[in-house]
Amino acid sequence: MSIIKSTLHELQEGLTRGDVSATDIARAYFLRISVVEPKVKAYITLNEQEVILAEARALDEAMKSWRKTMPMMAMPIAVKDNICTKDMLTTGGSRILEGFIPPYNATVVDKLREQQCFLVGKTNLDEFAMGSSTEHSAFGPSRNPWKLDRVPGGSSGGSAAAVAADECVVALGSDTGGSIRQPAACCGVVGLKPTYGRVSRYGLLAFASSLDQIGPVTKDVRDAALMMNVLAGHDPHDATSADVPVPDFTRALKKKDVKKLKIGVPSEFFADGLDPEVHTAVREALAVLEELGGTQQELSLPHTGVAVATYYLVATAEASSNLARYDGVKYGFRTRECGDLMEMYQATRQEGFGAEVKRRVMLGTYALSSGYYDAYYAKAQAVRTLIRRDFERAFEAVDVLVMPTMPTTVFRLGEKIGDPLQMYLSDLYTVSASLAGVPAISVPCGFSRAGLPIGLQIVGRPFEEEMILRVARAYELATNWRRKRPLIR
Ligand code: GLN
């Protein structure tokens, strides 16, 4: 078996059967990284090879006397660099966290490490997860493994690029308005944003607290289900995490068809502005789902047109408040130009934050200021309720909603960086599910003429990740997109 080309479940099986050892896995991945990472630049920080090889040797030794039992054991996992890792640099893609080494693990990292996975490294992202291309990272952009002059999407672009380039077997991302699904679509991999509250955010650097979710980026849908089995669940450290039963997400995949499934097709997501190549690919995917026994129903999510505006008010307002903690006292970077305390705060934030973060802090502060609060923030909250109701109404009639993940095909580095509004519009199709708090998954559904991946988005009812996983898996098995891999050169 090819170690680096394997999915998580294939690699697990190989390890359990004894076809590969933990040391083989660790070696293969570090070799792969040494070859492709200089081109892809998926990581901000790589774990030390010696540390992982020592862990691998210990695991191999232990496995002589007992059979492998934990699903994540010896699995090379990458973690987005806005998720805290104990004793390992965590930057959030920002200069302002320079040298910040968390004294604790995020809950999701603890859960994976308890099963003795390998922590390969911390992946690149737009600063504080604000962006759609990784170009807003203080450490420079990552590249799309399918074409190195293209962006990998964002903000979890490093995680998606690392999975697509076989620099890890699975990765963690975070999604506030699309940051798992959109880069997954750009890189031809699977990305799942769980229901708000499904997965603990303890240890995630907060961007917009009413929207942020952690979720998996994987090579196939089965791997996403396996990851959800580990990640999901109530966490007393996260007051917003939901105390609901956690199913076995892989059980849902046993049914390989979607007979009697009612698929909603929201017309607003197929209107003007949708790239024709994306449109064709998604319509073809819908036809596949119909062949598998589903029925399509056109419907409307009438407030879709104001979702981006609503999102950028809610998200920036919350960001302006969350980012107030970076003051040069508590974490990371502090300016050298210190006058009095106020000047120190100002100079630290001036030097430590990039342009996009400053833009959002200003926009958010403005939206929350007295006199404008009712006109902007309160209004955005009211519209958010209307958006959520659109989904509730739709889900009375259908089981899932299907639409493109992104309105365009993958763009070039530099193409949108000078035009924030254009960049924001690449979130057009992902922010609605975020505002509604519902789960959504992106799976590969074809390629553009230029050879770049296209993503299909499947959205479900709250806490019905099993349903979207099942539909995504049925689609994935009926098509062969996941077999195509990028040739990095
Ligand atoms: N691209 C969106 C933004 O810039 C979403 C980011 C995210 O989901 N973290 O806010």
Q: Reduced to 3 states, what is the DSSP secondary structure of residue 69?
A: coil
Percentage, residues of the chain above pLDDT 70: 100
Contacts of 207 (CB under 8 A, 6+ apart): 82, 128, 129, 130, 174, 176, 315, 318, 319, 322
Amino acid at 434: S
Q: Which residue has a Cα nearest atom 4 of ligand 1?
A: 131
CB 443, CB 456: distance < 8 Å: yes
How would residue 338 be classed by pLDDT, with cut points 50, 70 and 90?
Answer: confident
Query: Ligand 1 mean position to 465 CA, how many Å?
Result: 21
Same domain, 135 and 238: yes
Of 285 and 65, more confident: 285
Q: How far is CA 292 from the centre of its chain?
A: 28
Task: Say yes or no: CB of residue 156 within 6 Å of ligand 1.
Answer: no
> Is the pLDDT at 66 greater than 90, yes or no?
no
- Residue 1, domain member (yes or no): no
Q: Are residues 119 and 166 in the same domain?
A: yes
Q: What is the pLDDT of residues 227-238, one digit of tens each?
A: 999 999 999 999
Contact 10, 20 (CB under 8 A): no
Q: Are 409 and 275 in contact (CB under 8 A)?
A: yes
pLDDT at res. 389: 98
Query: What is the chain's Cα-based Rg?
Result: 21
Ligand 1 pocket check for 176: Cβ under 6 Å: yes
pLDDT in tens, 68-94: 679 999 999 999 999 999 999 999 999
Place of tokens 């992104």: 406
Same domain as 131, residue 66: yes
**What is the mean pLDDT of the segment spanning 368-389?**
96
Q: How far apart are CA 151 and CA 413, in angstroms?
A: 5
* Residue 489 domain flag: no
Are 348 and 446 contained in the same domain? Answer: no
**Residue 34 sits in the same domain as residue 141:** yes
**Is the C-beta atom of 399 inside 6 A of ligand 1?**
no
Question: What order of strands is seen across the sheet that includes strand 295-299?
Answer: 43-46, 118-123, 76-80, 170-175, 213-218, 190-193, 440-447, 453-459, 400-404, 262-266, 295-299
In this structure, the strands spanning 43-46 and 118-123 are antiparallel
- State whether 327 and 444 are in the same domain: no
Pocket test for ligand 1, best of 124, 130, 316 (most atoms within 8 A of CB): 130
Over residues 337-353, the mean pLDDT reads: 92
Where residue 17 sits, what CATH number does that domain have? 3.90.1300.10
Per-residue model confidence (pLDDT) at position 155: 98
The residue-averaged pLDDT of 119-128 equals: 98
256 and 351 share one domain: no
Q: Ligand 1 centre from 101 Cα, in Å?
A: 24
Q: What is the pTM of this model?
A: 0.98
Q: Are 437 and 382 members of one domain? A: no
- 2 in a domain, yes or no? no
Question: What would the pLDDT profile of 133-185 be if each residue is shown by its tens digit?
Answer: 999 999 999 999 999 999 999 999 999 999 999 999 999 999 999 999 999 99
Task: Evaluate whether 133 touches 182 at the Cβ level (below 8 Å).
Answer: no
- In the numeric block, which tokens belong to residue 14? 């190989």
Does 202 have pLDDT greater than 80? Answer: yes
Amino acid at the residue 418: G
- Find out whether the beta carbon of 155 lies less than 6 Å from any atom of ligand 1: yes
Residue where a domain terminates, one of 355, 387, 419: 387
Q: d(Cα 475, Cα 216) in Å, to the nearest integer?
A: 19
Of ligand 1's listed atoms, the one at least distance from the Cα of 312 is 10
Q: What is the pLDDT of residue 217?
A: 99
Instruction: Report how far ligand 1's centroid is from the alpha carbon of 360 (Å).
Output: 11
pLDDT classification of 489: cutoffs 50, 70, 90: confident
**Residue 374's domain spans which residues?**
305-387
Residues 224 and 285 in one domain: yes
- The residues that are catalytic are 80, 155, 179
